[in-house]
Amino acid sequence: MTESSKKNVDSCRFCWMCRHICPIGKATGQERNNARARALGLSLVNRNALGLAEVIDNLYECACCGACTKECVTGWDPMLFTRQARLDAAMEGVLPEYIGRLVDNCLETGNAYGITEPEDFVQMEIQKHEKQEEILLFLGVDARYRAPLAAVNAIRVLETAKVSFTVLEKEPASGWQLEYLVSAVKETKEQMTACAKELNRFQRVVVFDPQDARICKREYPEWGVELTAEVVTFTAFVAKLLKTGALCPQNRNLTAVYQDPFQLARELDETQPAREVISAYAARREMLCHGKDTMWAGNLLMREWMPEVMLLVAADRIEQAERAGADAIVTASVSEYASLKAVKQDKIRILSLEELILGE
Amino acid sequence: MQTNEFLQAMILTELEDAVGAENCSANPIDRVTHSVDYYWLSRMWADRGRRMPEADIVVSPKDAQETAKVLKIANYYKIPVTCWGGGGGTQGGAIPVCGGIVLDTKRMDRIYEVNTESMYIECGTGAIYKHIEWAANEVGMATMHYPSSLNCSTVGGFLAHRGIGVVSTKYGKIDDMVLQMEVVLPNGDIIHTSPAPKHAAGPDLNQIFIGSEGTLGIITKAQMRIFAQPEERRFRGFLFQDMHAAFTASRELLQKFKPSVMRLYDPAETATLIKKIVGVEKPGAFMNVAYEGCREMVEVEERILLDTFHKYGAEDLGSEYGEKWWEEKITFFYPGHMMDLPQMFGTMDTIAPYGKIEEIYDAMKDAVETNFPQARFIAHFSHWYEWGAMVYDRFIVEEEHVPKDPVEALRLHQQIWTAGVRAAIAHGGVVNDHHGVGIKLGRLMKEQYGPAMQVFEGLKRQLDPNGIMNPFKLGL
């Protein structure tokens, strides 16, 4: 573990001041689900009082959503040591079996789910946009393989706005899954570099999934991966289509709250475009934790090894939306949409931004 | 009773049946994270690479019914049960010193009702107080319970050790903020305290369990008061050159009205913590006062405050420092802003009537500084009543004077605590004001209460005949 990570570990090991904003800790009520528990465990590992293998599962109970890092007034960063410890575990060969399997999938198929082809109906929509255009719509692995309707809806929104764009039949992995699972290994950078090479064939890349947007816009420069194409988030692109009149909003008779994806709000400083879009179609309210203070609502990758917890996390967010007096939650993240949708409830509608626009 | 691997496995399956397998763990990470709280000794022990005493099993019931099942199992097998809320306590009250079961309350976090007619929130006691505050804020109200640990501690944690927040002078302590409670007794019976907190139906059941630190039962649900947000909240900073004048001025002020915040820092703390966080450079004793409510009342209160404090020679520093302090009121608690390892430190808060409080402050300062020249002593007075005030004394020993051997460090820590708190008791103070007793101060409870201790002991014997509930805490 680096000195910087050790310093962060020792600063966080006895401090719970970010407990209230940890979405997983709040949902599960388990003491181990907060930054302090991970730090305390790792501090004992660093002092040879505990083995890394004894805390490794706990390290994969963290979404790395950055709420704790944002909350810390001193500036300590629990994500730093969580990622570092995952890397150490990968290097020491003590990754849990369920993570090792997902890593292998990433390396073999480009996605943690180990799927090689999208479903036929998605493939058909993709093939309609094979032609090389200036704009690339980058769908991402979650939309292509786990939430195919979202992929189709994203394509339809751009079609509705009469945008000429390409969708790659074989889309490279952006590297976000590998980066999340094992952090900065050689293979992660290789994925990033290969992806950037493909993206650079276009003038502009509209990135549908905030998880990909974060990695392309924030991590590629950090890792020294050259990206010459202009990368735009799907939300920002759609907001612009509205402004230019390419999309004509209709009142959907809804009171909606926006589920800020942390990747956009906290890491890319983007909170307004989606709100502008929602306001054009619905009355908009705010949940208590919104914008940069957003509380994560679950994702598809972690559903692979902790599906019950993802349901609890999403249910917690639904409760917060209800308390805000909303009758719909609008999401801009494929993953959060799928998580929220998985909760069995009939009190509040879960809509993707695309569904709001398309009226579906 | 001697346990063994077979019996432990049997008990684990019974507990899993009671709360669900996913809420029952014997994994190292769960045991370790429930073994170190905010107590300096537990932190020091872990810092030196030692494992604190750990529970054998950690269970997280979701309500009183599941809690009752756990306690029945524990009673049958005579297994110790230590209750854990947020773990932010400083007295070692949540440490499972005898192993057994740690019962974590945080799954009992449901907000059952936000009642703006009778002004309370009914919630599970595992709820983080900040979340209760959010729920109050959503309906335009506030809990007015703002301790430094607001973000991380639970409703039950504050109740268990009689906590207090920074606006207590106006709104009261946690024990003033409860209407009704649900409690699971050690035998698994679920009881409710009186439907209203003020009555003539015998002794106050609420106050028997508040402050009992999990030794008499487990509080599982509570109705906590909420308040209208003040129309206006104003701050005023003052500098006194004489602590006695500050006390006299404050006592006189409290006969006229109740500010929300009153914090008087002694010259040593003004020159260190207050200078660092708030930026007060001048020597003296800094005092921050906040007053709030209807605008018209606040205007009148401000006039009374300025007149009263002027009479006792206080220098008016305006509102800037007070506002800065309010903004930073929780910042003090983040790592890097206050004492931390490798320093040794402790907060020996006590409370007494005005006639004794200055003497207690002097006696505690003398007891620490004379007997332990390696220790610095700082203090502030932050919770005030018409009849007296609380003194928040702290000692700090710098790294070079802290023994390297953890047992020796433990010994020095205990000696300083004993000397400081004994001085408080000898001069009419109480063992503790708002952090509780835990394992840290249990031995001194008997010194304070003498034969009165038999009342607590009698309750303990009657309610917990097998002695399973949080053993060796509270001196019981």
Per the structure block, which two tokens stand in for B78?
């005579």
- Which phi and psi (to 5°) does residue A66 adopt? 80, 5
Q: Tell me the CA distances in angstroms from A335 to A170, A296, A326, B178, one per residue in order.
A: 21, 10, 21, 41
Contacts of B201 (CB under 8 A, 6+ apart): B194
* DSSP letters for A162-199: T---B--SSPPP-SHHHHHHH-S-HHHHHHHHHHHHHH
CB nearest to A32's CB, from B33, B47, B135 = B33
DSSP helix/strand/coil, B423: helix
Q: What integer pLDDT is reported at residue B2 of this predicted model?
A: 61
pLDDT of residue B1: 53
- Report B:381-440 residues touching A (Cβ under 8 A): none
Query: Which positions in chain A touch B337 (Cβ < 8 Å)?
Result: 73-74
Tens-place pLDDT, residues A73-120: 999 999 999 999 999 999 999 999 999 999 999 999 999 999 999 999
Mapped onto helix, strand or coil, the DSSP state of residue A226 is: coil
Q: For B227, list phi and psi in degrees, rounded to 5.
A: -135, 155
A229 and A203 Cβ atoms separated by less than 8 Å: yes
Residue-wise pLDDT tens digits, A255-264: 999 999 999 9
Out of B34, B51, B333, closest to residue A49 by CB: B51
Sequence-separated (6 or more) residues with CB below 8 Å from residue A260:
A271, A274, A290, A291, A292, A294, A332
Provide the β-strand partners of residue B316.
B238
Bridge partners (DSSP) of residue B137 are none
Q: Which of residues 120-179 of B touch A (CB under 8 A)?
A: 126, 128, 130-131, 134-135, 137-138, 149, 151-153
**Dihedrals phi, psi of A218, to nearest 5 degrees:** -105, -45
State the CB neighbour count (10 A cutoff) for residue A83: 21
**B29–A58 CB contact, under 8 Å:** yes
For residue B398, which amino acid is it? Answer: E
Query: Strands, E, within A55-153: which ranges?
Result: 135-138
* pLDDT at position B283: 94
**A47 vs chain B: nearest CA distance in angstroms?**
5
Contact B187, B75 (CB under 8 A): yes
pLDDT tens per residue across span A111-168: 999 999 999 999 999 999 999 999 999 999 999 999 999 999 999 999 999 999 999 9
Q: Is B178 helix (H, G, I), strand (E, B) or coil?
A: strand
Measured torsion, CA atoms of residues B265, B266, B268, B270, in degrees rounded to the nearest 10: 30
Facing B28 at nearest CB: one of A18, A54, A324? A54
Residue B434 phi/psi, 5-degree rounding, is -150, 10
- Tokens encoding B135: 């729920």
Across the interface, do A19 and B152 touch by the CB < 8 Å criterion?
yes
Residue A42 confidence (pLDDT): 98
d(CA B299, CA B117): 28
Q: Which tokens sit at A203? A: 């003038």
For residue A16, the chain B residues in CB contact (below 8 A) are 86-88, 149, 151-153
Residue of B nearest to A39 (CA): B33
> DSSP 3-state assignment of A139?
coil
Q: What is the ipTM of this complex?
A: 0.95
Helix axes A52-59 and A78-92, enclosed angle (nearest 10): 130
Pairwise CA distance, residues B287 & B317, whole Å: 10
Cis amide linkage into residue B342, ω under 30° from 0: yes
Contact (CB<8Å) B335/A76: yes
Residues of chain B with pLDDT under 70: 1-2
- How many whole angstroms separate alpha carbon A193 and alpha carbon B211? 60
> What are the Cα distances from residue A105, in Å, to A115, A196, B335, B389?
8, 21, 40, 64
DSSP string, B129-150: HHHHHHHHHHTTEE-----TTT
| E strand segments, B185-275 | 190-192, 218-225, 227-228, 232-240, 261-265
- pLDDT at residue B274, rounded to an integer: 87
d(CA B150, CA B415): 30
Give the residue on A whose Cα is nearest the Cα of B337.
A74
* Cα angle value B274/B275/B278 (rounded, 5°): 65
Q: Which residues of chain A carry a pLDDT beneath 50?
A: none
| pLDDT value for B201 | 97
Structure tokens at A100: 């090792």
Contacts of residue A69 in chain B, CB cutoff 8 Å?
A: none
Contacts of A288 in chain B (CB under 8 A): 134, 137-138
Q: Which residues of A touch B152 (CB under 8 A)?
A: 16-17, 19-20
Residue B51: closest C-alpha in chain A: A49
> Which token pair is B410?
């433990």
- Which residues are CB-contacts of A91 (< 8 A; sequence separation ≥ 6)? none
A14 contacts B36? CB cut-off 8 A: yes
* A12 to chain B: closest CA residue: B335
